[in-house]
Homo-oligomer: A and B are copies of this chain.
Amino acid sequence: MLALKEKINQEGCYLGRGILKVDSFINHQVDPTLMEECGKEFARIFADVKASRVLTAEISGIAPALMAAYHLHVPVVYARKTKPVTMPDTVYLTVAPSHTKGVMTDLIVSPEFLPRGERVLIIDDFLASGNTIQGLVRLAQAAGAEVVGIGALIEKSFEGGREALAYLKVPIHSLVRIDRMDDTGIHFGD
């Protein structure tokens, strides 16, 4: 997606160790117009998978997932990292390693909002190692829901997430693919 690629070129910053800083439009400050365009593009790409809801992980997945769900006219559920007092006693919980934080993170979804038989489209900001998305897949599977597609704003193709998720045999789409980052800059794939 050209608009997102241009924004990364203008404002993205490679910090080393595979970390891309996009805090000015995705991860801390958010560009709502760009996010709306990305959501619309996800809705176009995944129109045929007939998703009945979008699933994401707090925190940075919320903006793109909300905009995708808005254009798909379905609810969005974000997995929580801590269990709030409003959640029932029994929940779906899995753990996933956080690449940028170096710790294990809980991902928690209430059974109230992930009923059996749902057709789940997973949307997140990054597809890197795929660890967070695999956690969301496990939550969907535990609930008896079917994952019908996976979308990410930015794919770091060199971290192997796409290959790790291939066994699901569902469409995987990223709006921008980065094949390499080094001192010479951010190198995009096709």
Contact = CB atoms under 8 A, between A and B. Distances in A.
A69 B28 contact: no
A101 interface: yes
A86 B29 contact: no
Interface residues of A, number: 42
Nearest to A100: B85
Interface stretch (A76-84, A138-146, A150-158, A162-170): A76-84
B66 A32 contact: yes
A89 to B, nearest CB: 13
A96 interface: no
Contacts of A73: 33
Contacts of A85: 15, 19, 100-101
B63 A32 contact: no
A90 B40 CA distance: 36
